[in-house]
Structure 1
């Protein structure tokens, strides 16, 4: 799904067009929702902008979807959970 929709490129392009990180990720999710054939099961998008903000969204993956977050100033990584969107 990600390759067919160029999801990583799309998220970056949407941000270059002026969208916020959140809006860019949600727009990429909408792109993926258009796929109707082939492999259309779950995918998780991990995205970060040039300010260090991050967004993790999972499409059609039953949650919870854990990921680890660590940035400067943190003593250790923290487990967090992706936002889950079920479109099926």
Structure 2
């Protein structure tokens, strides 16, 4: 494991902590759709960004291609 991997995992640990904090705040929000949406958006962005970084690194290590939407963080195409 190199320095970049340690930083990647440290970033994952940070997101993991933030997920708990934001989730608890979302559970206690009442009628504020604006704040609720902002919290969901933050969680989604953090998870997508971290997931894409982890998938990219795995591809670097084992040479397996990942689906383009996973690497870009874009949502997968919806089924017809």
TM-score (norm 1): 0.31
Whichever of the two has the greater Rg, that structure is 2
Instruction: Name the structure with the higher strand share.
Output: 1
Instruction: Name the structure with the higher helix share.
Output: 2
